[in-house]
Amino acid sequence: MAANSTSRAFAARSALSPRTLAAVLVTVSTWGSAFAGIRAGLTAYTPAHLALLRYLIASLALAVYALVTHMPLPARRDLPRVALLGFLGIAFYNLALNFGEETVASGTASLIIASVPIWMALLGSLLFRERLRLPGWLGIALSFAGVAVIALGNQGGLKVDPRAVVILIAAISSSLYSLGQKPLLTRYGALQCTAYAIWAGAILLLPFGLRLPAAVSTAPLGATGAISYLGIVPGALGYCTWAYILARVPAATAGSFLYLVPAFAMLIAWLWLGEVPTLLSLGGGLLVLAGVIVVNSWGRGQR
């Protein structure tokens, strides 16, 4: 059974069309670039202002797309869930990630966020009774060890970096967002769910906007440009190409491509910001990714 599953996954990857492969490259590279973009924006903006401005821009871009394609609004009965998704996946997630990246290098942050599939597997087993085999629990333990190594070694010594823990909480929030999408994805497309969540998240971030105009007027053009990039490219374009991928390949196959995001994040952070990850961060990141691969390849039981 495992061999057949592996061969089917390999066949799915090998059968990707050039357009789908291009969408994969756009998604992983733009999402990888987001971590460096956040660090660039934080040079002049607070974490809250960065999150609000980014998703106001993303909301505007998606609103234009919605008008052109005549995207319907969500049903009234789904508005509470949309609001919760906007809080978990957009507002809280980005506030926590931005706050953490004030001191945590962008490449290191991407490695911690790479633990999202682990949290999805663990929470799915606890909340939805999704079965995990023994290799799944071993993979979770492996990723936990990797996150611990990153948190202990991020400051150049064996002491816990509180900001790394905050980014870990952001990863947990993102996993809850992904699990919470499941009921809506039976009624709406992936792109629609994303647009609804981004609009809801932007609305929830509005209370932080009182001093945003003053921040924009005094910020260097480079920092504001980085946030505009975050809203349009990783925010709107990256989610659009991700929806394109999900519509054409199995979810498990699509998820495997996200293993490439930390590699792109580190490369772009090096080219853009001159950041070089520490050996402990790299070692911890490899443990995180190894745990994710173990869980997704051998750890999930049949339902």
Alpha-carbon distance of 125 to 291, in angstroms, equals 16
- Does residue 121 carry a pLDDT above 80? no
Q: Supply the mean pLDDT for the chain.
A: 83
Which residue has 């769910």 as its token pair?
A: 193
Here the tokens at position 256 are 């495997």
pLDDT at 45: 97
Mean pLDDT (whole number) for 257-283: 83
- Does residue 15 carry a pLDDT above 60? no
pLDDT at 244: 81
Alpha-carbon distance of 29 to 234, in angstroms, equals 9
> Which has more confidence, 4 or 144?
144
The domain segmentation of the chain, as residue ranges, is 19-299
- Does residue 111 carry a pLDDT above 90? no
Span 194-225, pLDDT tens digits: 899 999 999 999 999 999 999 999 999 999 99
pLDDT at 153: 59
Q: In sequence order, what are the residues at sequence separation of 6 or more whose Cβ sits closer than 8 angstroms to the Cβ of residue 147?
A: 112, 115, 168, 284, 288
Alpha-carbon distance of 193 to 10, in angstroms, equals 29
Which stretches of the chain are assigned E, i.e. beta strand? none
- Does residue 156 carry a pLDDT above 60? no
- Does residue 303 carry a pLDDT above 50? no
Global pTM value: 0.82
pLDDT at 13: 44
Phi and psi at residue 40, to the nearest 5° = -65, -40
> Which has more confidence, 130 or 158?
130
Alpha-carbon distance of 52 to 209, in angstroms, equals 7
Alpha-carbon distance of 85 to 104, in angstroms, equals 26
SS3 of residue 141 by DSSP: helix
Nearest alpha carbon to residue 232 among 30, 68, 22: 30
pLDDT at 251: 61
pLDDT at 6: 42
Mean pLDDT (whole number) for 97-119: 86
Nearest alpha carbon to residue 170 among 125, 223, 229, 119: 119
Mean pLDDT (whole number) for 138-157: 71
Which residue has 């490369």 as its token pair?
A: 267
Q: At what angle do helices 190-205 and 47-69 cross, to 10 degrees?
A: 140
pLDDT at 266: 86
Mean pLDDT (whole number) for 103-115: 84
Tell me the C-alpha to C-alpha distance, in Å, between residue 190 and each of 169, 194, 281: 24, 6, 33
Nearest alpha carbon to residue 264 among 37, 17, 1, 2: 37
Nearest alpha carbon to residue 233 among 40, 70, 20, 54: 54
Mean pLDDT (whole number) for 30-46: 95
Sign of the C-alpha dihedral, residues 140, 145, 148, 154? negative
If pLDDT is split at 50, 70 and 90, which confidence band does 85 have? Answer: very high
Residue percentage of the chain with pLDDT more than 70: 86
Alpha-carbon distance of 296 to 282, in angstroms, equals 21
DSSP code of 275? -
pLDDT at 296: 66
Alpha-carbon distance of 24 to 156, in angstroms, equals 34
Mean pLDDT check: name the lowest of 29-38, 155-164, 254-263: 155-164
Give the residues across from 132 on adjacent strands. Answer: 300
If pLDDT is split at 50, 70 and 90, which confidence band does 236 have? Answer: confident
Which amino acid belongs to residue 114?
A: A
- At 138, which helix (H) or strand (E)? helix 134-153
Here the tokens at position 162 are 């509180």
- Does residue 14 carry a pLDDT above 70? no
Spatial contact of 106 and 275, defined as CB atoms under 8 Å apart: yes
Mean pLDDT check: name the lowest of 72-86, 205-219, 276-290: 276-290
